[in-house]
């Protein structure tokens, strides 16, 4: 009687032949090939995750920047009103038709509004640059190309003399051209060409003029000693405040329109995982 590893009644391994009804196992390769993808699966889940690397939604940052800009518009309007009254008061002082209490009240209101204006402006600068920088960092995830500048220029470009006359506008141009919803997913945007909205030109032109007026106002105010010099500095400051109101509203529109365009691009491109991803720098 023979025995085997299979036990009583079991054939030894490799012994005999399979019966007619027995299943015959197909030989298995030591290097199995991957199964072909099913027809229902067009994108691997990891592909979508890779494609959206470096992209963050802008809604919260954009809302904060817009609210801050609207606050600046209101504060600038108040500053303009106090500036008008200050000019009237200076005229009364020139003719001798004034009271000390009126001068004190006017100076107090003028200084208080100016302080609020400085605080609102600093807050707005921080919130706007936070949106501007994040928007620029989003660009590599939305196309097959890389923007012309590093994302640091979205902040640093505002503070470098001479360069701040044109670099922030170039960054803004990249934002518009790189977030075109109709651009093919893997297409490289024409960073240095293509049409731009008139809103961008109005915003940047207003910013240049406003910066010039603000700088002139600061310098004139520091040097003003005589009544005519004080009048001149107040007039320039008033002009800067008056321009600041529509400029803040235009800037808020730039934030809203650019954000909406980038969100449309992201919804169209990142949803199918076909855009060339990459971590924004």
- pLDDT per position as a tens digit, 228-252: 999 999 999 999 999 999 999 999 9
> Do 145 and 188 contact (CB within 8 A), yes or no?
yes
CA distance 122 to 67: 14
Q: Is residue 276 part of a domain?
A: no
**20 pLDDT exceeds 70?**
no
- Please give the model's pTM, rounded to 2 decimal places: 0.76
Domain that includes residue 62, residue range: 57-267
**pLDDT value at residue 8:** 41
Say how far apart CA 66 and CA 256 lie, in whole Å. Answer: 8
> Is there a domain that residue 279 lies in?
no
pLDDT at 112: 95
pLDDT band at 271 (very low <50, low <70, confident <90, very high): low
Q: Residue 43: pLDDT band by 50, 70, 90 thresholds?
A: very low
**pLDDT tens per residue across span 196-217:** 999 999 999 999 999 999 999 9
Residue 166 lies in a domain: yes
Q: Looking at per-residue confidence, does 106 or 37 come out higher?
A: 106
Whether 280 is covered by a domain: the verdict is no
186: confidence class by pLDDT, cuts 50, 70, 90 = confident
The answer to whether residue 185 is domain-embedded is: yes
The pLDDT of residue 77 is 98
What would the mean pLDDT of 255-259 be, rounded to a whole number?
97
What the block records as the tokens of 110 is 């003028």
Provide the pLDDT for residue 84. 96
- Single out the residue of 131, 132, 135, 139 nearest to residue 277, CA to CA: 139
**pLDDT band with cut points at 50, 70 and 90 for residue 193:** confident
Q: What is the 3-state secondary structure (H, E, C) of 90-101?
A: HHHHHHCCCCHH
Residue 19 has pLDDT above 70, yes or no: no
Summarised one tens digit per residue, pLDDT across range 117-146 is: 999 999 999 999 999 999 999 999 888 788
Mean of per-residue pLDDT scores for the chain: 82
Q: What pLDDT does 87 receive?
A: 93
Tokens 């910013």 belong to 207
Token representation of residue 132: 């501007």
Sign of CA dihedral 212, 215, 218, 222: negative
Q: Please state the rounded mean pLDDT for residues 62-72.
A: 98
pLDDT at 280 over 60: no
* Residue 36 pLDDT grade (very low, low, confident, very high; cuts 50, 70, 90): very low
Asked whether residue 4 carries a pLDDT value surpassing 70, the answer given is no
Collect all residues with Cβ–Cβ distance below 8 Å to 175 and sequence separation of at least 6.
135, 136, 139, 258, 262
Domain assignment of residue 131, yes or no: yes
Question: Looking at residue 53, what is its pLDDT?
Answer: 59
Write down the pLDDT at residue 222: 94
Look at residue 31 and tell me whether its pLDDT is greater than 50: no
In a domain, 22, yes or no: no
Sign of CA dihedral 169, 174, 175, 181: positive
Pairwise CA distance, residues 178 & 62, whole Å = 18
Q: What's the domain count of the chain?
A: 1
Q: Which residue has the higher pLDDT, 21 or 165?
A: 165
Would residue 18 count as lying in a domain?
Answer: no
CA neighbours closer than 13 Å in the CB half-sphere of residue 183: 25
pLDDT more than 70, % of the chain: 77
Instruction: Evaluate if residue 220 carries a pLDDT over 80.
Output: yes
The H-or-E segment that residue 82 falls in is helix 59-95
Task: Check residue 52 and give its pLDDT.
Answer: 53
Q: Residue 92 pLDDT > 60, yes or no?
A: yes
């Amino acid at each position: 009687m023979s025995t085997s590893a299979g036990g009583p009644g079991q054939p030894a391994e490799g012994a005999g032949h399979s019966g007619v009804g027995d299943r015959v196992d197909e030989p298995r390769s030591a290097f199995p090939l991957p199964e072909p993808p099913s027809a229902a699966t067009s994108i691997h889940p990891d592909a979508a995750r890779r494609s959206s690397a470096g992209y963050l939604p802008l809604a919260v940052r954009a809302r904060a920047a817009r609210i801050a800009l609207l606050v600046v518009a209101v504060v600038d309007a108040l500053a303009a009103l106090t500036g008008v009254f200050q000019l009237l008061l200076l005229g009364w002082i020139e003719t001798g038709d004034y009271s000390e209490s009126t001068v004190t009240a006017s100076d107090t209101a003028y200084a208080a509004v100016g302080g609020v204006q400085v605080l609102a402006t600093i807050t707005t600068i921080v919130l706007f640059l936070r949106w501007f920088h994040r928007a620029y960092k989003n660009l590599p995830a939305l196309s097959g190309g890389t923007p012309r500048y590093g994302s640091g220029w979205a902040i640093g470009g505002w503070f470098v003399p001479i360069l701040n006359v044109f670099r922030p506008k170039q960054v803004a141009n990249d934002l518009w051209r790189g977030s075109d919803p109709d651009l093919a997913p893997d297409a490289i945007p024409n960073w240095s060409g293509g049409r731009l909205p008139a809103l961008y030109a109005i915003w940047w032109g207003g910013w240049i003029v406003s910066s010039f007026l603000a700088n002139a106002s600061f310098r004139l105010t520091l040097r003003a000693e005589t009544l005519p010099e004080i009048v001149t500095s107040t007039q320039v400051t008033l002009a800067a405040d008056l321009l600041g109101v529509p400029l803040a509203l235009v800037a808020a529109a730039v934030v809203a329109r650019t954000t909406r365009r980038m969100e449309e691009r992201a919804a169209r491109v990142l949803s199918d995982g076909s855009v060339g991803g990459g971590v924004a720098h």
